[in-house]
Amino acid sequence: MVIAITHESLMYAVYFAPRGKKRLLSLGYLLGQRHLSPLDRLIGVIGDAGAGKSLLIKGMFPGLELTNDDAGINIRPLPLLTHAEEGEFSDHSYHVDIRFELAFTPAYRLAEAIKQAMAKKRRVVVEHFELIYPLLEINAELLLGIGEEVIVTRPSIFGPPPDEMAGIVFKSLKLRRMAHTAEDLTGMVLSEMGEQEPVAHDDVKHGFVLEFPMKPDFDLELLEKQVGQYIKEGLAVSFFDDDHITIGQKKLACTGPRLHINNTAEIEGFHLVKEFIFDPLSGHYLLVGLIGKERSTEIGALNNLGFG
């Protein structure tokens, strides 16, 4: 009874969309524990390429076979379609990436297969849900969007519709890419300056947080100026492998190598909070970097409510 009330009362929940495989998998697991009902048959996931949808789904549904992912694994023929044609759904849960499958299958066939699976009380996890919704005409029981933030909602007849979710997360993903690139660029400059490396990374809206065990003594104005210079130079940012990126000619370790803009010149409004913030819970000193339009640097107002 308590679980049902919790699910029915959910308007929406918002989480930071973290970088890195481990943190995305952990968040997915957390979302599954908090928001997923065993009775859910239709799960919609919305987000652009590289946002982390596949990792989030793997965390939520351990053991679910994804029909395609960033590693280039593409399962053919699509189990959902095969089982729909056979009229026998042998699996409990199915995954389908609508954007990918539209290159091979008409949308109406995908919609029919999803409805057939649901009628047989099977669960279908649908990536790019907004693309199939107009034909499906059924909203997801649990709808997730991933951009700068992960938004979780249980839509009703009053909304929200998938296209509204898509409008939010597609727009905000650029901010997440800018923030992660600015974070790696800041780490690169700290290394060049011979300063201590952060021991942890955390999140703040439209920005990033680097944690240090002792209060650093480097000049924040100088650090901001040097990072700003690299931004102005327009250095190319490229995926190197699953653990590294390149910025200009430099190879850097990175836990989220696919989540970057293409050039440092695309970073807008970079600035640092000009003081180290002490966190009494962790005992760490925090370096806060922000991107986007000019923002208040009042510490208590950085994670303001809303999606703006």
Model confidence pLDDT, tens digit, residues 61-113: 999 989 886 656 677 789 999 999 998 999 999 999 999 999 999 999 999 99
Identify whether residues 123 and 80 lie together within a single domain.
yes
Residue 305 clears pLDDT 60, i.e. is over it: no
Domain annotation covers residue 165 = no
Task: Judge if 247 and 272 occupy the same domain.
Answer: yes
Distances (CA, A) of 85 to 68, 106, 293: 20, 14, 52
217-264 confidence digits (pLDDT tens): 999 999 999 999 999 999 999 999 989 999 999 999 998 898 999 999
Contacts of 307 (CB under 8 A, 6+ apart): 149, 151, 168, 172
Given a contact cutoff of 8 angstroms between Cβ atoms, the answer to whether 24 and 161 are in contact is: no
Is residue 155 in a domain? yes
Give me the pLDDT at residue 297, please.
62
141 and 282 assigned to the same domain: no
Helix (H/G/I), strand (E/B), else coil: 61: coil
- CA dist 24 and 276 (Å) reads 27
Same-domain pairing of 154 and 36: yes
Q: Is the pLDDT of residue 1 over 60?
A: no
Residue 166 lies in a domain: no
Beta bridge mates, 252: 245
Residue 4 above 50 pLDDT?
Answer: no
Q: 60-90: string of b/e by CB count within 10 Å (b at 16+)?
A: bbeebebbbbeeeeeeeebbbbebbeeeebe
Last residue of a domain, one of 94, 126, 160: 160
Length of the chain: 308
pLDDT digits (tens, 9 = 90+) for 33-53: 999 999 999 999 999 988 999
Answering whether pTM is above 0.85, one says: yes
Closest CA to 273 of 226, 213, 204: 204
272 and 220 in a common domain: yes
Domain region containing 231: 175-301
**Dihedral, CA of residue 84, residue 85, residue 90 and residue 92, to nearest 10:** -10
Task: Looking at the structure, tell me whether residues 188 and 154 fall in a common domain.
Answer: no
Please state the domain count of the chain. 2
Burial class (CB in 10 A: 0-12, 13-18, 19+), 195: middle
Each residue's pLDDT tens digit, 167-185: 999 999 999 999 999 999 9
